[in-house]
C-alpha cells in the first residue's frame, strides 16, 4: 500500500508541471488572439478615419423629409441623440450643400430584422450609390465613392422591403433605422499667402539726392506700387527714386492666388547742408551705398551775396571702388558748359553764365557705380575756383574740409 501511494504521488508530481505548461500555453494563445482582434479593430478604425477624407458636409436623417409611417426616435448612440425609423416602405429625402468637391459618403444605419434584413438604397442626385442589406442591429457605416462638385445636391434613402408578421408567437416587424449621412472630400490645401519685401538704399538722403528701391515677392503673380510711386513694377526688381525733395514712402502690394501682402519703405529727405560762403562742396557729404548700386553726387557752389559768373570744379575719386558714369549739368544755373570729363579717378567740370549768379547753385550731377566695398573719399583738387563777376578773381582763398565727401561702400 505505501508503494501505491508513493507511485501516485510520483505520478502527480510528474504530471503537474505538464498541466501548468498546458495552462500557460493556453493563456498565451488567447492573449495572441486578443492582440490580433484589437489590432484589426484599430486598423479598421484608422482606415475609416483616413480613407474617409476631409469632412465636407453632414445631413442628419431627422432633418430630411420623411415618408408616411416614418418617425424620429431618440437614440443615445445616434448622432445628435436622434435617428429615423423607417417602419414601412418609403423614401426619406433631403438637400445638402457641399462647400467643396465630394469624393465619398458614409450613411450610418442599423436594422430590426424580421424574417430577413431590411434593404437600404441611397441615391445622390438620382444616382444609386448604396444598395445593400442592413443586417446589424447596431449602428454600422455604409460607404460609397461619390464624385460630386461643390453646390447643392439631393439625397434620398429608400426602404423598399418592409415586412410584418402578425400571427404566431414570433410576430415581428422589419424596420430600417437611419442616423446620419456624412460627405467627405480630398480638400486641396489653400494656396500660400504671398510675401513681399521692399527696401530703400540709402534710407536717408539730402534734398536733390536719390535712393534705390529693391523688392521681391514670393507666391505672387502681380504687384502694384502706391504712395510715392505707382504702376506695376513686376514681382521683383530695383529702381531709382529719382531726385527727392521731400520725405517719401513707397508701398508695394503683391497679389497671388493665396491673397495679398504689402510692404512699405520710407526715404527720409533732409535739407542740404550748405557750408558757409564762399565754397564749392559735395552733396551729400557722406552716405552709405551697396556694391553694384548707383551714386549720384551733386557738385555745388555757394557764393553767398557775392555775384559769380564762372566755376571750375576738379576733384578726385578712388577708381578702384567707383566707376565714372556721367556728368549732367542740364539743371545747373551755369548754362554754358566749357568742360565735362571724368574717368581714371578724376572729374573736371567748367561752366559759366551770361550775367551772374548768387547764393547756392548746382554745378553738375556726377553719377558713379559702386564696384567694390570700402571707403570712397571725394576731394577737390588744384584748379578748383569760383570766379567773381565783378573782379574776375577766384573768391575761394583755399579749399577747406567742406570740399571733401566720404562714402561708405558695402
Q: What is the pLDDT of residues 216-271, one digit of tens each?
A: 999 999 999 999 999 999 999 999 998 888 899 999 999 999 999 999 999 999 87
Round to whole Å and give the CA distance between 267 and 121. Answer: 71
Is 195-270 the same fold as 54-185?
no
| Assigned C-alpha cell, 16 | 503537474
Q: Is the peptide bond before 284 cis (omega within 30 degrees of 0)?
A: yes
| Residue 297 reports pLDDT greater than 70 | yes
Q: What is the pLDDT of residue 244?
A: 84
Distance from the first to the final alpha carbon of the chain: 113
Euclidean distance between CA atoms 180 and 60, whole angstroms: 4
The predicted model scores a pTM of: 0.44
Query: Contact, 272 vs 208, CB < 8 A?
Result: yes
Say what the pLDDT of residue 326 is.
97
| Per-residue pLDDT tens over the stretch 132-184 | 999 999 999 999 998 999 999 999 999 999 999 988 778 899 999 999 999 99
Residue-range domain boundaries for the chain: 54-185, 195-270, 279-409
pLDDT of residue 30: 55
Q: Residue 131 and residue 119: Cα distance in Å, rounded?
A: 7
- Contact between residue 92 and residue 178 where contact means Cβ atoms under 8 Å apart: yes
Asked whether residue 19 carries a pLDDT value surpassing 70, the answer given is no
Contact by Cβ (8 Å): 62, 179: no
Is pLDDT larger for residue 1 or for residue 135? 135
Compare 3 and 393 and report the one with higher pLDDT: 393
Of 3.40.50.620, 2.60.40.1220, 2.60.120.260, 3.40.50.1820, the CATH number of 54-185 is 2.60.120.260
Can you give the length of the chain in residues?
410
3-state secondary structure 123-186: EECCEEEEEEECCCCCCEEEEEEEEECCEEEEEEEEECCCCEECCCCCCEECEEEEEEEEEEEC
Class of domain 279-409: mainly beta
Q: How far apart are CA 68 and CA 290, in angstroms?
A: 83
**CB 397 within 8 Å of CB 333:** no
CATH architecture of 195-270: Sandwich (2.60)
Amino acid at each position: 500500500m505505501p508503494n501505491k501511494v508513493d507511485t501516485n504521488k510520483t505520478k502527480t508530481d510528474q504530471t503537474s508541471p505538464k498541466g501548468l505548461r498546458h495552462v500557460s500555453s493556453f493563456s498565451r494563445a488567447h492573449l495572441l488572439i486578443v492582440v490580433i482582434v484589437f489590432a484589426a479593430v484599430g486598423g479598421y478604425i484608422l482606415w475609416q478615419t483616413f480613407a474617409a477624407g476631409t469632412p465636407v458636409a453632414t445631413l442628419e436623417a431627422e432633418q430630411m423629409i420623411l415618408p408616411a409611417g416614418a418617425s424620429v426616435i431618440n437614440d443615445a448612440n445616434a448622432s445628435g441623440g436622434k435617428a429615423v425609423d423607417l417602419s414601412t416602405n418609403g423614401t426619406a429625402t433631403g438637400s445638402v450643400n457641399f462647400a467643396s468637391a465630394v469624393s465619398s459618403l458614409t450613411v450610418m444605419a442599423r436594422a430590426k430584422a424580421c424574417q430577413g434584413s431590411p434593404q437600404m438604397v441611397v441615391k445622390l442626385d438620382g444616382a444609386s450609390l448604396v444598395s445593400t442589406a442592413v443586417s446589424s442591429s447596431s449602428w454600422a457605416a455604409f460607404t460609397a465613392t461619390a464624385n460630386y462638385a461643390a453646390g447643392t445636391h439631393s439625397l434620398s434613402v429608400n426602404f423598399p422591403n418592409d415586412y410584418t408578421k402578425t400571427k404566431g408567437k414570433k410576430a415581428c416587424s422589419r424596420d430600417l433605422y437611419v442616423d446620419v449621412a456624412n460627405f467627405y472630400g480630398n480638400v486641396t490645401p489653400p494656396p500660400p499667402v504671398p510675401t513681399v519685401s521692399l527696401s530703400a538704399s540709402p534710407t536717408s538722403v539730402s534734398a536733390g539726392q536719390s535712393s534705390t528701391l529693391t523688392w521681391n515677392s514670393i507666391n505672387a503673380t502681380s504687384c502694384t506700387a502706391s504712395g510715392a510711386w505707382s504702376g506695376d513694377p513686376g514681382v521683383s526688381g530695383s529702381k531709382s527714386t529719382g531726385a527727392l525733395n521731400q520725405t517719401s514712402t513707397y508701398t508695394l502690394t503683391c497679389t497671388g492666388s493665396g491673397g495679398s501682402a504689402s510692404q512699405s519703405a520710407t526715404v527720409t529727405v533732409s535739407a542740404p547742408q550748405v557750408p558757409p560762403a564762399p565754397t564749392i562742396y559735395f552733396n551729400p557729404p557722406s552716405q552709405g551705398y551697396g556694391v553694384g548700386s548707383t551714386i549720384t553726387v551733386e557738385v555745388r557752389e555757394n557764393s553767398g551775396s557775392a555775384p559769380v559768373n564762372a566755376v571750375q570744379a576738379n576733384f578726385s575719386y578712388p577708381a578702384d571702388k567707383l566707376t565714372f558714369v556721367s556728368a549732367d549739368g542740364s539743371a545747373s544755373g551755369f548754362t554754358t558748359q566749357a568742360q565735362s570729363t571724368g574717368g581714371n579717378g578724376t572729374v573736371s567740370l567748367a561752366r559759366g553764365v551770361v550775367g551772374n549768379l548768387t547764393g547756392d547753385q548746382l554745378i553738375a550731377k556726377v553719377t558713379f557705380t559702386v564696384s567694390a566695398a570700402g571707403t570712397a573719399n571725394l576731394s577737390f583738387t588744384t584748379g578748383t575756383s569760383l570766379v567773381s563777376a565783378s573782379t574776375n578773381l577766384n573768391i575761394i582763398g583755399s579749399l577747406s574740409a567742406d570740399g571733401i565727401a566720404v562714402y561708405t561702400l558695402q
